[in-house]
C-alpha cells in the first residue's frame, strides 16, 4: 500500500483515484474471503483522516467519511460486515468524486464461485432468449433464471454472449452453472411468450413444463415466435400503471420467472439436484 505521506503529496485528482483503488482492493479481499483478509485499521483510519482534511468535499461526503472513520475507530472486527460496509461507502464516494459513477462492472460480489451440484432446478422449466442484444440484460436474465430454478437457457444466434465481460459481471457466476445452448431454430417443447396483449400474469396458467420466450429489447418477441407461442401456450403480460408503460426486458423477465417458480412450488412440483 502507498504510504500516507506519499499519497498526500500527489495532486488531488490522482490522490483520490489512488485512494479509491486502495479501498477497492481492500474490499475485494474482504468479499472474496482471501486468507488473512482483515483491514489495517490504523492505515485506513489514516486514509480517512487525510480525506477529511481535503477541504474540497461537500458536506454530505464529509459526513459519510466521518461515519466511516467512526466505524474504523470503534469496530473491533477488522474483517467484519460493518467494516466492509464502511469501505464500500468510501469507495463509491471516491468514484463519484472522480467522475466515475459506478456501473455494473464496478460492483463487488463476495459470494465467490457457485457450486452447480447444489442447484435444484424445476425439470422442464426452460427459457429462450430471442435476440437479447445487451450483455447486461443477458447477464441479468441468467442470474434471475438461475435463482428461480430454470433447467436450461436457449439463445438465438443474435443474442449477446453470456461470456461477455459485462454479462459475466451481471450474472455473478450464474452462466457457469446454468446449462445454456445456442440454437438456430425455436427450441422444442410447449412455448409461451412474455409479450403485451397476453393473459395477465396473475391469471396466466403457468405450465409444469415449457419454454418461456423473451424477445428483443427494441422489437419484442418476433412474429414467428409469437405465432408459435399463440399456437401453443399463449402469452403472459405484466400490467403496468405508470406513464412509461413498459419495463426493461430483464426486469420483466425476473417478475415472470418469480411467478412461474411460485406457481410450480405451490403446485408441489419436486425439484431435482443438479441440471
> Are 254 and 131 part of one and the same domain?
yes
For residue 154, being part of any structural domain is answered with yes
Most confident region among 20-24, 33-37, 116-120, 134-138 by mean pLDDT: 134-138
Local confidence band at 237 (pLDDT 50, 70, 90 cut-offs): very high
Is pLDDT at 93 greater than 50 in this prediction?
Answer: yes
Enter the C-alpha cell of residue 225: 415466435
What's 204's domain CATH number?
3.40.1280.10
> Are 136 and 176 part of one and the same domain?
yes
> Are 242 and 156 part of one and the same domain?
yes
> Are 64 and 132 part of one and the same domain?
no
- Rounded percentage of the chain residues whose pLDDT exceeds 70: 88
Long-range contacts of 200-203 (CB under 8 A, 24+ apart): 200/237, 200/239, 201/236, 201/237, 201/238, 201/239, 201/255, 201/256, 201/259
By the 8 A CB rule, do 206 and 258 touch? Answer: no
Least Cα distance to 224 among 124, 126, 159, 128 occurs for: 128
Q: Is the dihedral of CA 125, 159, 156, 216 positive or negative?
A: positive
Least confident range from 80-94, 140-154, 178-192, 252-266: namely 80-94
For residue 239, being part of any structural domain is answered with yes
Is pLDDT at 250 greater than 90 in this prediction?
Answer: yes
For residue 9, being part of any structural domain is answered with yes
Local confidence band at 181 (pLDDT 50, 70, 90 cut-offs): very high
Give burial (CB, 10 Å; 0-12/13-18/19+) of 191: buried
CB atoms within 10 A of CB 238: 19
Local confidence band at 83 (pLDDT 50, 70, 90 cut-offs): confident
Q: What is the mean pLDDT of the segment spanning 125-132?
A: 96
Q: What is the pLDDT of residue 84?
A: 84
Q: Tell me the per-residue pLDDT of 16-39, one tens digit each, with 9 for 90 and over.
A: 989 988 998 888 877 766 555 567
Q: What is the mean pLDDT of the segment spanning 35-58?
A: 83
> Are 89 and 129 part of one and the same domain?
no
Local confidence band at 275 (pLDDT 50, 70, 90 cut-offs): very low
Is pLDDT at 268 greater than 70 in this prediction?
Answer: no
Q: Which domain holds residue 122?
A: 116-266
CB atoms within 10 A of CB 208: 13
Is pLDDT at 274 greater than 50 in this prediction?
Answer: no
Q: Could you give the number of structural domains in the chain? A: 2
Q: What is the pLDDT of residue 161?
A: 93
Longest dimension (CA), the chain: 71
In 132-148, which positions are buried (b, 16+ CB within 10 angstroms) versus exposed (e)?
A: bebbbbbbbbbbbbbeb
By the 8 A CB rule, do 168 and 221 touch? Answer: no
> Are 68 and 145 part of one and the same domain?
no
For residue 166, being part of any structural domain is answered with yes
Amino acid at each position: 500500500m502507498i504510504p500516507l505521506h506519499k499519497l498526500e503529496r500527489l495532486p488531488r485528482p490522482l490522490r483520490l483515484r489512488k485512494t479509491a483503488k486502495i479501498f477497492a482492493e481492500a474490499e475485494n479481499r474482504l468479499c472474496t474471503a482471501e486468507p488473512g483478509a482483515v483491514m489495517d485499521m490504523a492505515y485506513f483510519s489514516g486514509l480517512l483522516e487525510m480525506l477529511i482534511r481535503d477541504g474540497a468535499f461537500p458536506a454530505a461526503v464529509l459526513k459519510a467519511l466521518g461515519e466511516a472513520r467512526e466505524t474504523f475507530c470503534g469496530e473491533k472486527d477488522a474483517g467484519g460486515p460493518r467494516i466492509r460496509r464502511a469501505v464500500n461507502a468510501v469507495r463509491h464516494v471516491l468514484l463519484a468524486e472522480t467522475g466515475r459513477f459506478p456501473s455494473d462492472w464496478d460492483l463487488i460480489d463476495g459470494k465467490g464461485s457457485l457450486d452447480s451440484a447444489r442447484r435444484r432446478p424445476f425439470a422442464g422449466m426452460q427459457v429462450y432468449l430471442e435476440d437479447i442484444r445487451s450483455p447486461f440484460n443477458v447477464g441479468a436474465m441468467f442470474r434471475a433464471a438461475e435463482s428461480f430454478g430454470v433447467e436450461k437457457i436457449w439463445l438465438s444466434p443474435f443474442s449477446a454472449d453470456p461470456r461477455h465481460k459485462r454479462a459475466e459481471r451481471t450474472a455473478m457466476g450464474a452462466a457457469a452453472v446454468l446449462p445454456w445452448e445456442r440454437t438456430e431454430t425455436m427450441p422444442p417443447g410447449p412455448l409461451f411468450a412474455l409479450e403485451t396483449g397476453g393473459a395477465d400474469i396473475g391469471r396466466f396458467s403457468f405450465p409444469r413444463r415449457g419454454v418461456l420466450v423473451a424477445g428483443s429489447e427494441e422489437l419484442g418477441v418476433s412474429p414467428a415466435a409469437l405465432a408459435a407461442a399463440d399456437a401453443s401456450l399463449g402469452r403472459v403480460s405484466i400490467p403496468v400503471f405508470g406513464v412509461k408503460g413498459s419495463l426493461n426486458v430483464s426486469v420483466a423477465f425476473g417478475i415472470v420467472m418469480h411467478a412461474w417458480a411460485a406457481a410450480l412450488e405451490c403446485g408441489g412440483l419436486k425439484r431435482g439436484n443438479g441440471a
